[in-house]
């Protein structure tokens, strides 16, 4: 059956300008970090992508190493793009990244021009694309001169392999330097992707100010703190959770009694707002006008539908914000 996108798709989503650029992004974007690899069920993630596009999500975020195995998220996304979204490429913002280990040897990691250019060429082949809309350097490289890494992003944009350059995981000071170098090269930095949530507040210590001053957009990843900011951990650690398995980024040791107490208090406030904890956590990030879009993941369509409901209430009273700060202290 041929997929036909909903005719209403642009009526319900709100879009925000990305920094001082000409690009607008949906308030919620879809990340393909987990759940889109060869180990996952194609029919499930096909439905997630359909629902996302039907709901006005135009931005799809990937990286060279997403899967598992690495590269498989891009392959699968490329396959669905070709089969279901043919003719809709120009309605999408597709991003990818390089900066973490992708292949063996000295040229498959970090931030050299050699790695970034080669990695993007591979990503384009996997997705069957001529260009991506945004190409990010995925993390700072302490050993490669920042000038070389930024020159690679500039080169990639000039070659037409990406329309815009972005950075991810850069702390405030590094980000300011990177943004300044790109500006000088004539390829302004479009966007920064930091880890940011109610439980991870580092971007508030200077980064958001740097981005605002320089007209750079911001798209937080891990907005639900690896699932901590959902109702999953209200009663301790469930057996099927990431924390129980301790295989991913969330370890059992992070889910302390103190953290669970905070989750319970936040959940009470969310209920009073007519939201789930996850919906409130997403809305809380969007209360800041410096945040362009929030990047979410989804393992099934219902999860995405639930997250989208966050957009029904993104306003917080001064009293609510104060309560949240008191809980998080």
* Cα→Cα distances 41→34, 35, 59, 110, 300, Å: 12, 8, 22, 31, 10
Mean pLDDT of 213-229: 97
Tokens for 254, please give them. Answer: 């992070």
253: DSSP letter: G
Give me the residue spans of the domains in the chain. 13-228+284-315
pLDDT digits (tens, 9 = 90+) for 249-305: 666 777 888 999 999 999 999 999 999 999 999 999 999 999 999 999 999 999 999
Query: In whole angstroms, what is the distance from residue 202 CA to residue 262 CA?
Result: 19
Q: Is 56:10 a contact under the CB 8 Å cutoff?
A: yes
The b-or-e profile of 45-62 (16+ CB within 10 A means b, else e) is bbbbbbbbbbbbbbbbbb
Cis peptide bond N-terminal to 259, omega within 30: no
Question: Does residue 244 surpass a pLDDT of 70?
Answer: no
Task: Name the CATH topology of 13-228+284-315.
Answer: TIM Barrel (3.20.20)
Q: Is 138:63 a contact under the CB 8 Å cutoff?
A: yes
Query: In whole angstroms, what is the distance from residue 226 CA to residue 249 CA?
Result: 7
pLDDT digits (tens, 9 = 90+) for 187-198: 999 999 999 999
Question: Does residue 243 surpass a pLDDT of 80?
Answer: no
pLDDT of residue 41: 96
The residue ranges of DSSP E strands in 27-74, in sequence order, are 28-31, 59-61
pLDDT of residue 3: 96
Q: To which H or E segment does residue 94 belong?
A: strand 93-98
Terminal Cα-to-Cα distance of the chain (whole angstroms): 52
Q: Is 128:152 a contact under the CB 8 Å cutoff?
A: no
């Amino acid at each position: 059956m041929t997929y036909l996108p909903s005719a209403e798709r642009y009526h319900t989503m709100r879009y925000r300008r990305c920094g001082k650029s000409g690009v607008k992004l949906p308030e919620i974007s879809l990340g393909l970090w987990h759940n889109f690899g060869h180990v996952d069920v194609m029919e499930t993630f096909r439905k997630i992508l359909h629902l996302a596009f039907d709901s006005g999500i135009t931005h799809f975020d990937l990286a060279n190493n997403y899967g598992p195995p690495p590269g498989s998220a891009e392959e699968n996304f490329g396959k669905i793009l070709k089969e279901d979204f043919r003719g809709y490429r120009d309605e999408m913002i597709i991003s990818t990244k390089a900066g973490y280990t992708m292949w063996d040897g000295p040229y498959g990691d970090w931030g050299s021009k050699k790695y970034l250019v080669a990695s993007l060429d591979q990503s384009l082949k996997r997705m069957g694309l001529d260009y991506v809309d945004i190409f990010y350097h995925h993390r700072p490289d302490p050993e490669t001169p920042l000038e070389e890494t930024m020159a690679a992003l500039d080169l990639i944009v000039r070659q037409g392999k990406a329309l815009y350059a972005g950075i991810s995981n850069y702390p405030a000071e590094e980000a300011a330097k990177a943004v300044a170098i790109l500006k000088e090269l004539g390829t302004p930095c479009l966007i920064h992707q930091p880890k940011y949530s109610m439980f991870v507040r580092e971007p508030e210590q200077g980064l958001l100010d740097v981005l605002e001053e320089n007209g750079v957009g911001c798209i937080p990843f891990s907005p639900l703190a690896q699932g901590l900011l959902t109702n999953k951990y209200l009663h301790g650690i469930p057996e099927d959770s990431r924390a129980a398995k301790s295989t991913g980024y969330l370890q059992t040791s992070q889910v302390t009694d103190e953290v669970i107490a905070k989750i319970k208090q936040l959940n009470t406030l969310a209920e009073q707002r007519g939201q789930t904890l996850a919906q409130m956590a997403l809305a809380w990030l969007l209360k800041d006008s410096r945040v362009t879009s929030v990047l979410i993941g989804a393992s099934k369509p219902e999860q995405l539908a639930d997250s989208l409901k966050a957009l029904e209430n993104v306003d917080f009273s001064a009293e609510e914000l104060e309560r949240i700060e008191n809980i998080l202290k």
